[in-house]
Chain A
Amino acid sequence: MEEQDLIRRAQQGDATAFGELLDLYYDTIFRFAWKWCRHRENAEDIAQLACIKLASSLAQYRFQAAFSSWLYRLVISCAQDWQRSQRRHDHDELHESVPRDDESQTEDQIYLLQLLEELADLGEGMKETALLVHAEGMSHAEAGAVLGVSESTISWRVHTIRRHMGKREARVSESV
Chain B
Amino acid sequence: MNQSSLEKQLQQQAPAPDPAARIAARRAAVEEFKRLHGAVAPQSTSRRGIFQGLSGLLRPSRHQQDGSDSMPWITRNMWLSGAASICVALVGGTIVWNTLKQHPELTELSQAGTTPRGAGSETGTAVQTAPVGSSSPEITRTEPEQGDALPANAASDVQSNEPAATAPRVDDARVRIEVQQRAAEDKAKQDEVAKESAENEQAAAALASQAADGTAQAKREAGAAADAITADDLGKLPDVSLSESLQRIPGVKASGPTPAAPLPNEQGQEVVVTGQRAGLKTAMEMRRSVSGYTGPEKNAIAANAPPAPPPPPQQVTGRDKFEHFELNSIKRPQLEAERFSTFSADVDTSSYSFVRKQLDQGVLPQKDSVRIEEMVNYFDYSWPTAESREQPFRPTVVVSDSPWGKGRKLIHIGIKGYELPAKARPDANLVMLLDVSGSMDEPDKLPLVKQSMKLLLGSLKPTDTVAIVVYAGAAGMVLPPTPVGDKEEIHDALDRLQAGGSTAGAEGIELAYQLAEKSFRKEAVNRVILCTDGDFNVGIDSTNELKGYVERKREKGIFLSVLGFGQGNYRDELAQALAQNGNGVAAYIDTVNEARKVLVQEAVASLFTIAKDVKLQVEFNPATVAEYRLVGYETRALKQEDFKNDKVDAGDIGAGHTVTAIYEITPVGVDARMIEPGRYADEARVATKSKGNEYGFLRIRYKLPDASVSKEMQTPITIDSGKVPESIERDVQFSTAVAGFAQLLRGGQFTVSLSYEDVIKQGLAARGEDPYGYRNEFVQLVRKAQAAK
Contacts and interface: CB of A to CB of B under 8 A. Distances in A.
Contacts of B26: 19, 22-23, 26, 51
A27 interface: yes
Interface of A: 9-10, 12-20, 22-23, 26-27, 30-32, 34-35, 40, 43-44, 47-48, 51-52, 54-56, 103, 108, 112, 115, 130-131, 134-135, 137, 162, 165, 168-169, 172
Contacts of A112: 9-10, 12
B730 to A, nearest CB: 62
Contacts of A172: 1
B278 to A, nearest CB: 24
Interface stretch (B47-55, B290-298, B523-531, B544-552): B47-55
A26 B22 contact: yes
Contacts of A48: 21, 24-25, 28-29
Contacts of B727: none
Q: Which of B6, B41, B166 has the most CB of A within 10 A?
A: B6
A27 B176 CA distance: 13
A15 B80 contact: yes
Contacts of A55: 29-30, 32-33, 36
Q: Which of B15, B80, B175 has the most CB of A within 10 A?
A: B15
A165 B15 contact: no
A15 B34 contact: yes
Given A108-B9, A134-B10, A16 B168 contact: yes
A137 B4 CA distance: 12
B32 A130 contact: no
A40 B15 contact: yes
Nearest to B81: A15
B496 interface: no
Given A23-B26, A35-B10, A56-B32, 12 more contacts: A12-B40, A13-B44, A14-B42, A14-B49, A15-B33, A19-B166, A26-B17, A43-B14, A44-B21, A55-B29, A55-B33, A137-B11
Contacts of A130: 6, 10
A12 B45 contact: yes
B18 interface: yes
B304 interface: no
Contacts of B46: 9, 12
Given A51-B26, A55-B29, A135 B11 contact: yes
B3 interface: yes
Contacts of B6: 115, 130, 134, 165
B726 interface: no
A41 to B, nearest CB: 8
22 contacts: A9-B45, A12-B46, A13-B45, A14-B42, A15-B30, A16-B49, A16-B51, A16-B169, A18-B29, A20-B172, A26-B17, A26-B26, A27-B17, A30-B17, A47-B17, A48-B25, A51-B25, A55-B30, A112-B9, A131-B10, A134-B7, A162-B3
Contacts of A103: 15
Interface string B552-574: 00000000000000000000000
A26 B30 CA distance: 13
B510 to A, nearest CB: 20
A30 B22 contact: yes
Nearest to B49: A16
Contacts of A23: 26, 172, 175-176
A76 to B, nearest CB: 15
Contacts of B165: 19
B277 interface: no
A74 to B, nearest CB: 12
B494 to A, nearest CB: 27
B14 to A, nearest CB: 4
B518 interface: no
Nearest to B176: A23
Q: Which of A19, A20, A35 has the most CB of B within 10 A?
A: A19
Interface in B450-476: none
Q: Which of A14, A16, A22, A131 has the most CB of B within 10 A?
A: A16
A19 to B, nearest CB: 5
A9 B47 contact: yes
Contacts of B44: 12-13
A23 to B, nearest CB: 6
A44 B36 CA distance: 23
Interface of B: 1-3, 6-7, 9-12, 14-18, 21-22, 24-26, 28-30, 32-34, 36-37, 40-42, 44-47, 49-51, 80, 165-166, 168-169, 172, 175-176
A161 to B, nearest CB: 8
B29 A22 contact: yes
Nearest to A49: B25
A35 B14 CA distance: 7
Contacts of B29: 18, 22, 48, 51-52, 54-55
A26 B176 CA distance: 12
Contacts of A10: 33
A27 B40 CA distance: 28
B10 A44 contact: no
A103 B18 CA distance: 13
Contacts of B11: 134-135, 137
Nearest to A104: B15
B172 A40 contact: no
A165 B45 contact: no
Contact of A18 (B3, B30, B41): B30
Contact of A15 (B1, B14, B28, B37): B37
A1 to B, nearest CB: 14
B50 A16 contact: yes
Contacts of B33: 10, 15, 18, 55
Given A15-B80, A52-B32, A168 B49 contact: no
A62 B429 CA distance: 71
A19 B33 CA distance: 9
A40 B169 CA distance: 30
**A-B interface, 9 closest residue pairs, ranked by CB to CB distance from nearest:** A13-B40, A51-B29, A13-B37, A55-B33, A135-B10, A48-B25, A31-B14, A34-B14, A44-B21
A23 B50 CA distance: 16
A22 B42 CA distance: 18
Contacts of A115: 6
A131 B18 CA distance: 22
Nearest to B189: A40
B501 to A, nearest CB: 14
Contacts of B41: 13
A27 B597 CA distance: 58
Contacts of B25: 22, 26, 44, 47-48, 51-52
A82 to B, nearest CB: 13
A38 to B, nearest CB: 9
Contacts of A13: 37, 40-42, 44-45
Nearest to A16: B49
A144 B16 CA distance: 28
A57 to B, nearest CB: 10
Contacts of A108: 9
Contact of A56 (B1, B36, B42, B45): B36
A164 B53 CA distance: 59
B158 to A, nearest CB: 13
A165 B188 CA distance: 36
A10 B106 CA distance: 42
Contacts of A9: 45-47
A47 B27 CA distance: 12
A125 B204 CA distance: 44
A12 B10 CA distance: 38
A12 B12 CA distance: 38
A14 B32 CA distance: 13
Contact of A31 (B1, B17, B34): B17
A4 to B, nearest CB: 13
Contact of A165 (B1, B16, B50, B80): B1
Contacts of B176: 23
A10 B14 CA distance: 28
Contacts of B12: 112
B10 A34 contact: no
Nearest to B168: A16
